[in-house]
Amino acid sequence: MTDLSKIRNFSIIAHIDHGKSTLADRLLEQCNAVDNRSNAQQILDSMELEQERGITIKATAAQLNYTASDGEVYALNLIDTPGHVDFNYEVSRSLAACEGALLVVDASQGVEAQTLANTYLAIDAGLEVLPVINKIDLPSARPQEVKAEVEDIIGIPAEDSPEISAKNGINIPAVLEMIVKEVPPPKGDRDAPLQALIFDSQYDPYRGVIVYTRVKEGTVRAGTDIKMMATGAVYKVVEVGTMSPGGLVPREALGAGEVGYITASIKSVADTQVGDTITTVEKGAAAPLPGYRPVQPMVYSGIYPADGAKYQDLREALEKLQLNDASLSYEPESSIALGFGFRCGFLGLLHMEIIQERLEREYNLDLITTAPNVVYRITKNDGTVLMVDNPLDYPDPMDIQLAEEPFVKISLFAPQEYVGNIMDLATSRRGEFKNMDYLDANRVELHYEMPLNEIIYDFFDALKSRTRGYGSLDYELLGYRPSKLVKLDILLNGDIVDALSFILFAENAYPRARKICEKLKENIPRAQFEIPVQAAIGGKIIARETIKALRKDVLAKCYGGDITRKKKLLEKQKEGKKRMRTFGTVSVPSEAFMAVLKLDED
Amino acid sequence: MLFFGKNNKTPLGIYIHVPFCRSKCAYCDFYSVTDKDPRAMDAYTEAVCSHIKEAGSLAPNYLVDTVYFGGGTPSFFGAEGMAQILSVIRKHFDVARTAEITFEANPDSVSDRLLRRLRSEGFTRVSLGIQCDNDEILKKIGRPHSYDQAVKAVQRIRKAGFKNLSVDLMYGLPSQDLESWQATVENVITLNPDHISCYGLKLEEGTPMHQYREYYTLADDDMQADMYLSAIEILRKHGFRQYEISNFCRKGQVSRHNLKYWTGGEYLGFGPDASSDFAGRRFSIVRDLRAYIDGIRTGGQVLREVQEIPNRERAAEFLMMRLRLVSGLDPEIYQQKFMLDFSPMEKVLSRCKDQGLAQKTYDGRWHLTPEGFLVSNTILSDLLIAQEKSQTITKR
């Protein structure tokens, strides 16, 4: 076990794209933890999708052995955190495992929404926050101004902050020295009852779940009988050790102050929830560490295989993804329209997109997804309270006494010139203006309260396009508030297509309904008969379009040379039809479902 | 029962693609060149003749009962070349005395001399491209003739002794409305042809009309459908019986050559871009005059695509082509010919019947109605999906 005084536990926080992962790589290289030629890509972001999107999805950790200028060797534990609001809880648990945080700020862009949000999380966790000014090699870099911004806006000293370029390896040793000097060494009693914080876990097909943990109090070693305090699961430890970028390094024991891993033949990450406390079965801790929260999906969506025969494949893919991602929840659901699929719960929209993309890419599945929705709280006339995460379960309007939807507090950051655009956007999404702060002469922060439902789909994209990419946002849940909600049903040829039903704010229903009908009309091919497309609330039709019957689809000439061509044409038409979903007598291509999801794009 | 020649030989159609035109029509995507160099025509004639000679030895057990010179514009290519090619066909193939021998002609290139010559060579049928009776529209679509020339051409063709005349018409042309199309059909009927083909305009990629499509006022699909249905009605009233999606005739004067395409008969094609279906294989020739001539001269490759068609695909073709015909298809024959169960298709056709798109005759044949013809691609793609599921019938 490393002496407490020689341990530094820190994480790196930043706004997206400010260079967090690049700095992590440089630190690792500097400590010779990795060969800098072996992997040009960012080392901690190992998932293909992470590297492509430039974001960290799962937290990871690595131990660096650094020989400081005082001649001593320090164990620096870097805990990388996810970089998106969807994963705020995970970020907070990673931070709880540290004593300090490097705050990376882009020398040309300055303080952004997530800079602030993450800094507050770090300060709340009692961390020493150490600013680092990155990208000083950019021609537009303005390190002195950005330092002043950090001091003014965040209120932490930044005058002596290292000015670095992670990309070009400039001034990296200064960062390491700062970590040794400024991050407080951990505290803890290695003889006390065990309290180890789980900040992440990962499924390994050979060892079972690998639990990443920060030991707060006590000591854990192979053979110890442990208990997860929230889930109550009990296991015998197989191995403990530390994480080096090259892999896991087994140790004899992990003591208070140390960051490492535990394996115990655990079969499912569901037993090792982020934020839970590990203690010993015998003489265990009296209370868990504070801050644990069970996983709470915020956004739900139906996921169906485009080809109904791929249902089993989808199930297996979801099972595999869930092994590694306890925040993904799913349960089988069936739709009259789409057949068998799954109702999936996600932490947020990014999480949903990531899961969908991984299913499509890593498991080669074609998916149809239904419109995402939040969880509504419905109080019925008889007093029972329902949490509705699926439009199909929405009760009859006659039975509803009170309908509530989740609201969030949203902070929007942008250069001042876009304030008008942002206000228009927020107002159109039922945002209630709270206040506006000038961060500096040029940049403002606007605060709104709005329904979560209004931001789950494309709010971020809309914000980006209205601010030429300069806008950023952060949000936190406020709780449930009463709202006027209705369930909108879509009918094709008189039959309700259940997969197209969704819940929305009553006042938005008419324009929405009209737009959906128009979109469906555009995207559903004409059939041999006329197809009415209707939108209804309860039994009342509020919008209608008609897809006229197809009258002409014929090859007028078909002689010797045309036969092969005609065959190819029909083959193509046939394959197109096979990809369509048939509802009663109406065939609907999957593009129609997508089009309905993308209503707000024009 | 038709009786094919004395030795019970297999009937064969011969198609000659003549790739020469005075000018390109704006809608046309058939292969042709507007080269007026007589040497190119001579080289072409020579190539086709040696190609025929080479192929003739491979088909000793066939009796040629139809020959068709299409294009391009065979009448523009001239009587001399066609006569020469036909004589080579007669020399190297067994051509039936009663063979149907057709050439395509345009009103601007049918002289009395040409017609007399071809009649005396044994040509029996002329297919004349009239398209429309409105000179302004003819100009818009790039036809090199007037309607008056077409009327005179018909008179000359009859005078030269051709008993079998077919004319081509098009609907859905620029600035054409329903009334003017109906008038066109009525007008052309007064010319007293034996056979009429009516084609809906289709904008083919790569044609000038496709490129400049937004500059034309064109009928939409609904209008084309109305034009089509009204043509069927007018023609029926005047004694023209529809026998295929786009073809009508009097007194059973069907195009025997074209019928081969729709009934799965065998045919050999010569000339660039010509197609063949012969001895179980479907193949087509390069779409380039120069490459064709050079290929034949040097004994090189002139085919661009050769396909062996498996049984189930032949069965799909059977559905596809037979349902173009008013006589439709006989499920019994389908089952016997391909040893595949017809019932999945029966289901689709029954649904079409409920929608008024198909009919079943008292003797069990299925055929499409005019409304069904109009959406035949949709029906066929449904049938092909069903056909994938049809089980092989095993003999007991």
CATH number at residue B20: 3.20.20.70
The answer as to whether B322 is a domain residue is: yes
| Residue B127 and residue B232 share a domain | yes
The answer as to whether B205 is a domain residue is: yes
- How far apart are alpha carbons A462 and A431 in whole angstroms? 14
Would the pLDDT of A42 be above 80? no
Residue of A nearest to B224 (CA): A552
Residue of B nearest to A570 (CA): B381
- Residues 265-284 of chain B with CB under 8 A from chain A are 267, 269, 273-277, 282, 284
- How far apart are alpha carbons A345 and A144 in whole angstroms? 44
| Residue B249 and residue B349 share a domain | no
Task: Tell me if residue A454 falls in helix, strand or coil.
Answer: helix
Whether the CB of B221 is below 8 Å from some CB of chain A: the reply is: yes
Task: Tell me if residue B184 falls in helix, strand or coil.
Answer: helix
Last residue of a domain, one of B223, B238, B262: B262
Determine, for residues A567 and B316 on separate chains, whether the beta-carbon distance falls below 8 Å: yes
Report the candidate in A193, A206, A271 with the shortest Cα–Cα distance to residue A234.
Answer: A271
**Which of B223, B345, B375 to mutate: most A Cβ within 10 Å?**
B375
| Residue B325 and residue B250 share a domain | no
**Residue range B328-359, pLDDT digits in tens:** 999 999 999 999 999 999 999 999 999 999 99
Whether the CB of A579 is below 8 Å from some CB of chain B: the reply is: no
Whether the CB of B104 is below 8 Å from some CB of chain A: the reply is: no
Whether the CB of A540 is below 8 Å from some CB of chain B: the reply is: no
pLDDT at A341: 92
User: Which positions ≥6 away from A232 have C-beta within 8 Å?
Assistant: none
| Residue B321 and residue B241 share a domain | no
The answer as to whether B210 is a domain residue is: yes
Determine, for residues A570 and B384 on separate chains, whether the beta-carbon distance falls below 8 Å: yes
Q: How confident is the model at residue A15 (pLDDT cuts 50, 70, 90)?
A: confident
- How far apart are alpha carbons A416 and A420 in whole angstroms? 9
Q: What DSSP assignment string belongs to B334-396?
A: HHHHH-B--HHHHHHHHHHHHTTSEEE-TTS-EEE-HHHHHTHHHHHHHHHHHHHTPPBPPP-
pLDDT at B202: 94
The answer as to whether B282 is a domain residue is: no
Which two tokens mark A408?
């969030």
Determine, for residues B381 and A528 on separate chains, whether the beta-carbon distance falls below 8 Å: no
Mean pLDDT of A355-380: 89
pLDDT at A49: 55
Would the pLDDT of A246 be above 80? no
**Residue range A430-462, pLDDT digits in tens:** 999 999 988 777 778 899 999 998 887 778 778
**Are B75 and B104 within 8 A, CB to CB?**
yes
The answer as to whether B395 is a domain residue is: no
pLDDT at A599: 65
Q: How confident is the model at residue A303 (pLDDT cuts 50, 70, 90)?
A: very high
Q: Tell which wins on pLDDT, A454 or B193.
A: B193
B305 contact residues in A (CB cutoff 8 A):
564
- How far apart are alpha carbons A6 and A180 in whole angstroms? 9
| Residue B355 and residue B234 share a domain | no
Q: How confident is the model at residue B48 (pLDDT cuts 50, 70, 90)?
A: very high
The answer as to whether B344 is a domain residue is: yes
- Residues 55-94 of chain B with CB under 8 A from chain A are 70
Per-residue DSSP letter, B108 = G
Determine, for residues B15 and A578 on separate chains, whether the beta-carbon distance falls below 8 Å: no
Task: Give the range among A326-335, A482-491, A530-539, B135-144 with minimum mean pLDDT.
Answer: A326-335
Q: How confident is the model at residue A41 (pLDDT cuts 50, 70, 90)?
A: very low
Determine, for residues A528 and B199 on separate chains, whether the beta-carbon distance falls below 8 Å: no
| Residue B144 and residue B32 share a domain | yes
Last residue of a domain, one of B232, B262, B292: B262
Min Cα–Cα distance to chain B from A585, Å: 11
A564 contact residues in B (CB cutoff 8 A):
275, 282, 284, 305, 307
Q: What is the CATH number of the domain that holds B357?
A: 1.10.10.920
The answer as to whether B1 is a domain residue is: no
| Residue B330 and residue B228 share a domain | no
pLDDT at A514: 93
User: Which positions ≥6 away from A505 have C-beta within 8 Å?
Assistant: A405, A430, A451, A453, A483, A484, A485, A486
**Which of A530, A547, A551 to mutate: most B Cβ within 10 Å?**
A551
| Residue B250 and residue B117 share a domain | yes
The answer as to whether B396 is a domain residue is: no
Min Cα–Cα distance to chain B from A405, Å: 46
Mean pLDDT of A556-584: 86
Last residue of a domain, one of B205, B236, B262: B262
**Are A232 and A247 within 8 A, CB to CB?**
no
Counted across chains A and B, CB pairs separated by less than 8 A come out at 103
| Residue B338 and residue B257 share a domain | no
pLDDT at A438: 85
Determine, for residues B385 and A577 on separate chains, whether the beta-carbon distance falls below 8 Å: yes
The structure's pTM equals 0.68
| Residue B319 and residue B228 share a domain | no
**Residue range A481-511, pLDDT digits in tens:** 999 999 999 999 998 888 888 899 999 899 9
Domain span at B152 = 6-262
pLDDT at A180: 95
Number of domains within chain B: 2
Min Cα–Cα distance to chain B from A551, Å: 6
- How far apart are alpha carbons B303 and B287 in whole angstroms? 9
**Which of B67, B319, B320, B381 to mutate: most A Cβ within 10 Å?**
B381
| Mean pLDDT computed over every residue of chain A | 86
Determine, for residues B274 and A560 on separate chains, whether the beta-carbon distance falls below 8 Å: yes
Q: Tell which wins on pLDDT, A426 or A561.
A: A426
Determine, for residues A570 and B377 on separate chains, whether the beta-carbon distance falls below 8 Å: yes
Mean pLDDT of A333-349: 86
Q: How confident is the model at residue B396 (pLDDT cuts 50, 70, 90)?
A: low
Min Cα–Cα distance to chain A from B192, Å: 23
pLDDT at B270: 97
Task: Give the range among A227-236, A277-286, A298-307, A396-405 with minimum mean pLDDT.
Answer: A298-307
User: Which positions ≥6 away from A251 have C-beta within 8 Å?
Assistant: A1, A240, A241, A242, A260
The beta-carbon neighbor of A554 closest among B275, B316, B375 is B375
The beta-carbon neighbor of B376 closest among A527, A554, A557 is A554
The beta-carbon neighbor of B225 closest among A552, A577, A578 is A552
pLDDT at B1: 44
| Residue B159 and residue B39 share a domain | yes
Determine, for residues A551 and B225 on separate chains, whether the beta-carbon distance falls below 8 Å: yes
